[in-house]
A and B are shown apart, each in its own frame.
Chain A
Amino acid sequence: MHASLAELLENLKPGLLWVTGDGVVRYANAVAGARTGLAAGRKLFDPDLARAVTAAISGRVPRVVSSVGTAAAGVGLLPELRCRVIPGLANDDAFVLVAPEPGSDEGAGFDNLMQAIRAEVRDPLRAAKAALSLVESQGQAGLEQRALIDNLDQLLGVVERLVELAGLWDSGALLANDRIELWPLLQKAWGEVEPLALQRGVKVRFRAQTEASGLATLYGSEKWLGRVFQECLESAVRSTPRGALLDIEHRQLGPRAVVAFRDCGVFAARNPRAGAVDMPHHPGADKLASARGAKPQMGAQDLIGFRLCQHIVSLHGGQLSEEDEDGQRTFMVELPTGAPHRQEHTELDIAQAQVYARDLAALMTRSRQRQANERQANERQASDRSGAPTAAAQL
Chain B
Amino acid sequence: MKRVLIVEDQADIRKLIRMTLEFEDYEIHEASDGSFGLSMARATRPDIVLLDVMMPGEMDGLQVCQHLKADPQMRHVKVVLLTARGQSRDREAGQQAGADEYLVKPFSPLQLIETIERLLQPA
Give the B-binding residues of A (Cβ under 8 A): 41, 177, 179, 214, 216-217, 219, 252, 254-255, 336-340, 343-345, 348-349, 351-356, 359-360, 362-364, 366-367, 370
A359 to B106, CA, bound (A): 12
A252 to B24, CA, bound (A): 39
Q: Which of B19, B84, B93 contacts A348 (CB 8 A)?
A: B84
**4 shortest A-B CB distances, which residue pairs?**
A339-B54, A352-B106, A367-B23, A255-B56
Q: Which of A219, A336, A338, A366 contacts B110 (CB 8 A)?
A: A366
Determine the chain B residues whose CB is within 8 A of the CB of A353 once the complex forms. Answer: 12, 16
7 A-B residue pairs with CB within 8 Å: A217-B63, A255-B33, A338-B57, A339-B55, A348-B106, A352-B12, A367-B23
Q: Which of B55, B85, B93, B109 contacts A338 (CB 8 A)?
A: B55
B119 CB within 8 Å of chain A: no
A216 pairs with B13, CB closer than 8 A: no
Q: Which of B23, B105, B113 contacts A352 (CB 8 A)?
A: B105
A337 pairs with B20, CB closer than 8 A: no
A179 to B20, CA, bound (A): 29
Q: Which residue of B lies closest to A219 (CB)?
A: B54
A355 pairs with B108, CB closer than 8 A: yes
B74 CB within 8 Å of chain A: no
B9 pairs with A339, CB closer than 8 A: yes
A254 to B13, CA, bound (A): 22
Q: Which of A217, A344, A349 contacts B60 (CB 8 A)?
A: A217
Q: Which of A252, A345, A363 contacts B113 (CB 8 A)?
A: A363
B46 CB within 8 Å of chain A: no
- A367/B24 contact (C-beta < 8 A), A337-B58, A351-B106, A362-B110 known: yes
B16 pairs with A359, CB closer than 8 A: no
Determine the chain B residues whose CB is within 8 A of the CB of A360 once the complex forms. Answer: 109
B54 pairs with A338, CB closer than 8 A: yes
B59 CB within 8 Å of chain A: yes
B109 pairs with A252, CB closer than 8 A: no
Q: B15-30 CB contact bits vs A (8 Å, 1 = yes)?
A: 0100110011100000
Q: Which residue of A lies closest to B19 (CB)?
A: A356
Determine the chain B residues whose CB is within 8 A of the CB of A362 once the complex forms. Answer: 110
Q: How far is the CB of A348 from chain B (nearest CB, A)?
A: 6
Q: Which of A177, A219, A255, A367 contacts B58 (CB 8 A)?
A: A255
Identify the interface centre among B23, B85, B90: most chain A CB within 10 Å of its CB.
B23
B34 CB within 8 Å of chain A: yes
Q: How far is the CB of B36 from chain A (nearest CB, A)?
A: 12
Determine the chain B residues whose CB is within 8 A of the CB of A255 once the complex forms. Answer: 33, 56-58
Q: Which residue of B lies closest to A217 (CB)?
A: B60
Q: Which residue of A lies closest to B13 (CB)?
A: A352
Determine the chain A residues whose CB is within 8 A of the CB of B113 once the complex forms. Answer: 363, 366
A345 to B57, CA, bound (A): 17
B65 CB within 8 Å of chain A: no
B105 pairs with A179, CB closer than 8 A: no
Q: How far is the CB of B88 from chain A (nearest CB, A)?
A: 14
A254 pairs with B106, CB closer than 8 A: no
Q: Which residue of B lies closest to A360 (CB)?
A: B109
Q: Which of B10, B23, B24 contacts A349 (CB 8 A)?
A: B10
Q: Which residue of A lies closest to B16 (CB)?
A: A356
B109 pairs with A359, CB closer than 8 A: yes
Determine the chain B residues whose CB is within 8 A of the CB of A355 once the complex forms. Answer: 106-109
- A340/B54 contact (C-beta < 8 A), A217-B60, A352-B106, A359-B109 known: yes
Identify the interface centre among A179, A252, A343: most chain B CB within 10 Å of its CB.
A179
A179 pairs with B56, CB closer than 8 A: no
B55 pairs with A359, CB closer than 8 A: no
Q: Which residue of B lies closest to A350 (CB)?
A: B106
Q: How far is the CB of A382 from chain B (nearest CB, A)?
A: 19
Q: Which of B56, B63, B107, B110 contacts A339 (CB 8 A)?
A: B56
Q: How far is the CB of B98 from chain A (nearest CB, A)?
A: 16
B20 pairs with A349, CB closer than 8 A: no
B62 CB within 8 Å of chain A: yes
* Additional A-B contact list (8), CB under 8 Å, known A41-B10, A252-B58, A367-B23: A217-B62, A254-B58, A255-B33, A336-B56, A338-B33, A344-B84, A356-B16, A366-B113
Q: Which of B23, B54, B85 contacts A364 (CB 8 A)?
A: B23
A7 to B60, CA, bound (A): 29
- A179/B19 contact (C-beta < 8 A), A219-B54, A356-B109 known: no
A356 to B106, CA, bound (A): 9
Q: Which residue of A lies closest to B22 (CB)?
A: A367
A354 to B62, CA, bound (A): 27
Determine the chain B residues whose CB is within 8 A of the CB of A367 once the complex forms. Answer: 23-24
- A363/B20 contact (C-beta < 8 A), A348-B105, A352-B106 known: yes
